A and B are shown apart, each in its own frame.
Chain A
Amino acid sequence: MNIYVYTIRRSLYVIPILLGVSMMIFFLFNFISGDPTSILLGPHATAVQMAELRQELGLDRAWYFQYWDIVKSAFTFDFGRSWTTKQQISSMLSSGAIPSMTVSIPAFIISTVLSISIALLISFFRGGWLDKTVVFVCVTMMSISSLAYILFSQWFFAFKLGWFEISGYENGFPDFVPYVLLPILIWVMMTIGPNVRFFRTVMLDEVYQDYVRTARSKGLSEYYILFKHVLKNAMIPIITYVVIQIPFLILGALLTESFFGIPGLGSMTLDAINGNDFPVIKAMTILTAVAYIIFSLITDVLYTVVDPRVRLK
């Protein structure tokens, strides 16, 4: 199938998925979540005020009007204003996405490239002491909780050694750089363990294939085989693993943002959940769903680029 036709067809899947997501949001908000008006008005709220606020927020209208509002915002991306901060949600999203991405994107790139490089290296020395040591270190790193990484690094590298800022954030390049270095380092430390193990497994799957044996019998160097054949053939699981993580990069990392005072989308989402700020929760859910659909599509299209045997149907 033509790549354009496939893309259009897959893009149309957005419609039923967004309708489903809207339904789920509506259900969760109306039947599971608490009454937002008492949270929003605080401890002095009276029944009259709560009724007035319900009317103001449109919560006293019939369910199908409320559901329609969610559907409409899912397709127009007009999420209105936050109930708690009264800020325009679009501006909250744009001002939160950049700080989140200044940490997550460099960390993601460094972690991915470093992990693939290490995985290739230990595949080259598979079964040797280097391989075993790296696997041991990776498993150890995976066993440590993210909170431990954050607390220790903040205390040791930033406070004791003074190499980094303890916390904070400044808008604009290069002002933000000193503040994101340690969060990036921590992110890399937290993700490199599972990444290396995954990529190593993928590489080793390929290393034992017949075509590798054939290449070796032809006298090609191990280096050439790894880079020109093994890496290329291992790309499909790598792409799946890597690209599908991208939508979540926008959301940032909740704990890291919280400990380092980075005003990203992760902390914004948490505030919204705690404050029953439905419009913000709705916006984040819908955007995550859309981003997930888009990056799934990109993953599929990339398959055909890296492996001509893959056909889009």
Chain B
Amino acid sequence: MLKQINTLLVTTIFLFFLLGGCAKKVDPNVKVLNFVISSKVKGMDPVYAADKYSNNEIARVYEGLLEYHYLKRPYTLVPNLAASMPKVSADGLTYTFKIKQGVMFHDDICFPRGKGRELEAADFVYSIKRLADPKLQSLGWWLLDGKIKGLNSWRKKYSSADAADYSEVVEGLQALDKYTLQFKLARPFPQFLYSLAMPFTFAVANEAVTKYGKEFLNHPVGTGPFILPAFEQSNKITYVKNPTFREKLYPSEASEEFKKLGYLADAGKRLPLVDKIVVKTMVESQPRWLNFLKGKLDYISIPKDNFDTAVIPGKGISDKLAKKGIILLITPSLDVTYTSFNFDHKLFQNKKLRQALSLAIDIHKVNKLFYNDTGLPANSVIPPGIAGHIKGFVNKYQGPDLERSKKLLAEAGYKDGKGLPELVYETTASTTARLQGDLFVRRMALIGVKARIQQNTWPEMNKKINNRTAMIWGIAWSADYPDAENFLQLLYGPNRAPGSNKAGYNNPAFNRMFEVASRMQDSPERTAFYERLNLLVAEDSPWIFGVHRQSYVIKHGWLKNYISSDFDSGQAQYLNINLKEKIKKIEVL
């Protein structure tokens, strides 16, 4: 009996391996982009596009009124589904858009005869009302909360009802005719236009929402360059080129840096430039790295563990990778890492104590240990690349300076740490987070301050931060849009936790200045305000500033037009594959 089972088993294993040898080969006649993401996509409904991964996937299918110019830096908004930039009233409260004519939704059974209909201004009214619909509990409501006239009242009215009435007119959100859309703001909000380039506000068709109901998030029907017939919670998403995509051309203008690098080679070509996109989810870094080296992925962010193999400090890409035609792209990210104090603890209302603790931290060691020495030490809250960042400014409380730290600690009333209670550094359970906590504890010991780590699951830590019971914790912030307001609001008093100001920093001078600056249109005056706020924060040290990270991406030479960007949703349509080069190179990888 056992002999028979073994024979059967051996035969099965043999057949299994035989089938294993029949792995599919890449089709050399079709331009396919092979991407990887490190976290699962949660769904394809724009109102839930809160994370970077969902954002990018949604933007392959859906589109918004505006987008960032692909080849211009600093980031510049340009029309996408809008025919032109909006007319803005003198008081900055009314924005009137003309939308492009002849833009078609993807063909789908939700439309009569399965043919996609033309996009109308009313689709944006509908889509933005979905963002406000209390029944949907959108993750992007914060973006428009209190900003569009009448929208909050509409939301409030239906918060206890079974369903919201989308036909009810909202004063600040109206389609004046088939192609004219008007927004009336409740108060000046110059960052409003950035909202319209974010997937939260992208156009969906009410026919699709009605047809698919709660399953709408698995049936994306947009106007974008790619089609996803059905979304599955899997580790692979495959998009195909939208055959009815309007005539949209690769840009013919670019910033000097991109011109020099040959990014205009495809200028004037009709988008998208590839036939298909395959996006795979790989949570772990090793498979990402190995698949990239085998040419199965077109680009990746360099995993921390493989950094030394890929990059030679001060030189760039390693010779081994350069020989394979792999290219390194280094791009500063619009973000900041920091260690936050909880101002609800009276202890941290002592400015000198905060400054002393900040001086004790060795930012260079932090950079080396946790960011492979690729970060730019942060001197304040606003990162380089946006107005308000002060080039060359050095925060005088940036460590390491143990002597000054000890001096300030004494001035704060805690000479050699005496009288200071034990500090608790809250962290998640990941190895890196724990090591960061360890380093904090060790640095504090050097000035006589006792500290310990408290490990939590992310939900537990989040709860402590929002309940304002955490004492000190490390965290990071990445820009939602390229405006200093998005960073400064993290320290605006009325935004205290559970809002975005988790530290609970509340400086009346800062608050007043922020209120003025955040209502101003982009101008040198506003930049001056931002700079003053940036300096004020640097002096006040409500956080221990960490680094502004830089993205280190490697790509194969056959991938053309790729740019590492903070706002890369919609990027896939501009990318191209040099098939000849790929076929030649992939054989030797």
Seen from chain A, the residues whose Cβ lies within 8 Å of a Cβ on chain B are 33-36, 38-47, 49-50, 52-53, 56, 81, 84-88, 91-92, 95-96, 106, 109-110, 113-114, 116-117, 120, 151, 154-155, 158-159, 164-171, 174-175, 177-178, 181, 184, 227, 231, 258-263, 267-268, 271, 273-274, 276
Contacts and interface: CB of A to CB of B under 8 A. Distances in A.
B370 interface: no
Contacts of B311: none
B233 interface: yes
Contacts of B246: none
8 closest Cβ pairs, A-B complex: A34-B463, A34-B459, A44-B142, A167-B287, A178-B23, A177-B19, A276-B459, A263-B235
Given A39-B458, A86-B48, A174-B22, A45 B463 contact: no
B244 interface: no
B457 A34 contact: yes
Interface residues of B, number: 65
Given A46-B142, A261-B281, A86 B43 contact: yes
B291 interface: yes
A87 B499 contact: no
Interface string B423-440: 000000000000000000
Chain A facing B: main interface SS: helix
A261 B280 contact: yes
Given A35-B463, A50-B498, A166-B290, A178 B19 contact: yes
Given A35-B463, A52-B137, A113-B6, A181 B40 contact: no
A88 B217 CA distance: 11
B346 interface: no
A231 B214 CA distance: 54
A274 B142 contact: no
B309 to A, nearest CB: 13
A278 to B, nearest CB: 10
Contact of B236 (A113, A120, A169): A169
A85 B159 CA distance: 22
B117 interface: no
B498 A169 contact: no
B234 A263 contact: yes
Contacts of A117: 2, 6
B23 A165 contact: yes
B16 A39 contact: no
Among B1, B23, B294, find the residue whose CB has the most chain A CB atoms closer than 10 A: B23
B68 to A, nearest CB: 21
8 contacts: A33-B459, A34-B464, A113-B2, A120-B2, A159-B293, A166-B290, A166-B291, A271-B40
A188 to B, nearest CB: 10
B551 interface: no
A55 B12 CA distance: 54
B326 to A, nearest CB: 16
A259 B286 contact: yes
Given A34-B462, A81-B214, A117-B6, A177 B20 contact: yes
Contacts of A45: 142, 466, 498-499
A106 B14 CA distance: 13
B235 A168 contact: yes
B463 A47 contact: no
B146 to A, nearest CB: 10
Interface in B138-188: 139, 141-143, 145, 159
Contacts of B141: 49
Given A170-B236, A259-B284, A154 B498 contact: no
A181 B142 contact: no
Given A86-B42, A168-B235, A116 B2 contact: yes
Given A85-B233, A86-B45, A155-B290, A106 B498 contact: no
B234 A171 contact: yes
Contacts of B339: none
Contact of B217 (A86, A164, A168): A86
A222 to B, nearest CB: 15
B462 A38 contact: yes
Given A39-B458, A166-B296, A259-B284, A158 B234 contact: no
Interface in B16-47: 16-17, 19-24, 40, 42-43, 45
